[in-house]
Amino acid sequence: MKNVLLKLIVAANTLVTIGLLIYVVRSHRIELDISDQILKVRGLVVTDSSGKERVIIGSPLPPAQSFGYRFYRGDNSSVSGIMLYDHEGQERSGYVTDDSYGNVFFTLDSKTSQQALFVAEPQGATTLKVWGENGNEINLGASDEGPWLTVSENGKRQNLIREEDNEK
Amino acid sequence: MKNSKLVIGFIFLVVYTSCRQQVSVKSGKLTGINPVSYTDVVYKAELDTVLASTFDGKIYEIINGRSGRNQIAAIEDEVYSMVYDFGQDRIIVATLNSEILVLDGETGETLRKIGLKEAWSYDLYYNEQVGILCSYDVKGNSYVWNVKDNFNTLMIPTGLKGALPRFISEDGAVYFDGVSSIHVWKYLMNEVTEIEGVKGKLIDVDHEGNCLLFSNKQFAFYSKETDDFRFQKRHPDWPMYIADRDTTIYIPLSLHLISGVLTEKHIYTCGLDKSIRKWDKLSGELIETFLQHPGTTSAVALSEDESQLVSVDLMGEVKFWDL
Same domain, A1 and A52: no
Same domain, A62 and A125: yes
Does A168 have pLDDT greater than 60? no
CB contact (8 A) between residue B272 and residue A89? no
pLDDT of residue B20: 62
Give residues with Cβ within 8 angstroms of B258, minimum separation 6: A67, B270, B271, B272, B296, B297, B298
Partner residue facing A68 (CB), from B37, B217, B256:
B37
Residue A92 lies in a domain: yes
Residue A138 lies in a domain: yes
Q: B35 in contact with A at a CB cutoff of 8 Å?
A: yes
Distance CA B263, CA B251 (A): 28
pLDDT of residue A161: 84
Chain A environment of B96 (Cβ under 8 Å) = 70
Q: pLDDT tens, A29-77? A: 677 788 888 988 889 999 998 888 899 999 999 888 877 788 887 777 8
Same domain, A53 and A98: yes
Same domain, A81 and A109: yes
Q: B258 in contact with A at a CB cutoff of 8 Å?
A: yes
CB contact (8 A) between residue A62 and residue B31? yes
Q: B15 in contact with A at a CB cutoff of 8 Å?
A: yes
Residue B315 lies in a domain: yes
**Quick check: B190 and B172 in contact, CB under 8 A?**
no
Residue A144 lies in a domain: yes
Same domain, A8 and A77: no
Partner residue facing A52 (CB), from B36, B39, B96:
B36
Q: How many domains does chain A have?
A: 2
The residue among A67, A75, A84, A111 with the most chain B CBs within 10 A of its CB, best to mutate, is: A67
Same domain, A17 and A100: no
Residue A19 lies in a domain: yes
Confidence (pTM): 0.83
Residue A46 lies in a domain: yes
pLDDT of residue A167: 56
CB contact (8 A) between residue B216 and residue A67? no
The residue among A61, A65, A76, A136 with the most chain B CBs within 10 A of its CB, best to mutate, is: A65
Window 206-245 of B: residues touching A by CB (8 A cutoff) are: 216-217
Same domain, A44 and A20: no
Same domain, A51 and A2: no
Q: Among B174, B185, B184, which residue's Cα sits nearest to residue B131?
A: B174
Tell me how many residue pairs between chain A and chain B have CB atoms under 8 A apart: 95
Residue B80 lies in a domain: yes
- The dihedral built from the CA positions of residue A98, A102, A108 and A113, taken in this order, carries a sign that is negative
pLDDT of residue A166: 57
Q: What is the CATH number of the domain that holds B132?
A: 2.130.10.10
Residue A35 lies in a domain: no
Chain A environment of B119 (Cβ under 8 Å) = 72
Q: What is the CATH number of the domain that holds A72?
A: 3.90.930.1
Same domain, A21 and A81: no
Q: Which amino acid type is present at position B256?
A: H
pLDDT of residue B22: 67
pLDDT of residue B188: 86
Residue B254 gets which letter from DSSP?
-
Chain B environment of A43 (Cβ under 8 Å) = 28, 30
Residue B135 lies in a domain: yes
Q: Among B294, B253, B292, which residue's Cα sits nearest to residue B276?
A: B292
Name residue B279's beta-bridge partners: B267, B286
pLDDT of residue A113: 87
pLDDT of residue A16: 92
Residue B1 lies in a domain: no
Residue A49 Cα to chain centre, angstroms? 18
Does A129 have pLDDT greater than 90? yes
Chain A environment of B81 (Cβ under 8 Å) = 69
DSSP B258-314: EEEEE-SSEEEEEETTS-EEEEETTT--EEEEE---SS-EEEEEE-TTSSEEEEEET
Q: B291 in contact with A at a CB cutoff of 8 Å?
A: no
CB contact (8 A) between residue A67 and residue B258? yes
Same domain, A11 and A92: no
Shortest CA distance from A42: residue in chain B: B30
Q: How far is CA B117 from CA B135, B136, B153, B158, B181, in A?
A: 12, 10, 12, 17, 25
* Full domain range(s) for residue B151: 8-322
Residue B245 Cα to chain centre, angstroms? 34
pLDDT of residue B7: 79
Distance CA B55, CA B63 (A): 20
Partner residue facing A85 (CB), from B32, B272, B299:
B32
Same domain, A52 and A11: no
Residue B2 lies in a domain: no
Q: How many domains does chain B have?
A: 1
Considering just the CA atoms, what is the radius of gyration of chain A in Å? 30
* Full domain range(s) for residue A20: 1-28
Shortest CA distance from A61: residue in chain B: B30
Same domain, A52 and A107: yes
Residue A34 lies in a domain: no
Chain B environment of A89 (Cβ under 8 Å) = 33-34, 37, 55, 314
Average pLDDT across each block of 10 residues of chain B; the chain has 323 residues. List them in order.
Answer: 76 70 72 88 96 95 94 94 96 95 96 91 94 94 94 92 93 90 90 87 94 94 91 95 90 94 95 95 94 92 94 95 91
